[in-house]
Amino acid sequence: MADSPGGVYTKKVMNRFSNPKFAGEIKNADGVGQVGNMKCGDVMRVYIKVEKNRIKDIKFKTFGCVAAIASSDAMCEMAKGKTIAEAMKITDKQIAEFVGGLPCIKHHCSVLGSEALRKAIENYKKKAK
């Protein structure tokens, strides 16, 4: 697991929290996934638009802490442009590494991103049948 130095938030985390690029909602999304973590009260919803088996657009709405919002934004950047199969392979560890690490007690926040993305893809696959 990627831990931040000294258990504090990295500059990357704080920048993503302060200036998220992917915050919002996609009307008529092809897939929507929502997860919540009762341990900390965070709730994340992910919206995806898919074109030719690739994630063309992705947005998130997260009610949560700094780490949850930063992880949501990072996950979106990582998934955009990827095929469905590639996006399904994004892990919480990769998300934490992408933001330069998270404090140990906040690692569960990066798990929300990968889980919400998987749920959005599962929702898309159900609708596409």
Which amino acids are annotated catalytic?
40, 109
Lookup: tokens for 8? 């504090």
Q: What is the Cα–Cα distance from 108 to 74, expressed in whole angstroms?
A: 15
For residues 20 and 107, give the distance between their C-alpha atoms in angstroms, rounded to a whole number: 19
Sequence length of the chain is 129
Residue closest to 115 by CA, chosen among 27, 13, 21, 45 = 45
Tokens 């919540």 belong to 36
Cα separations (Å) of 75 from 24, 43, 46, 90, 129?
A: 14, 15, 10, 8, 26
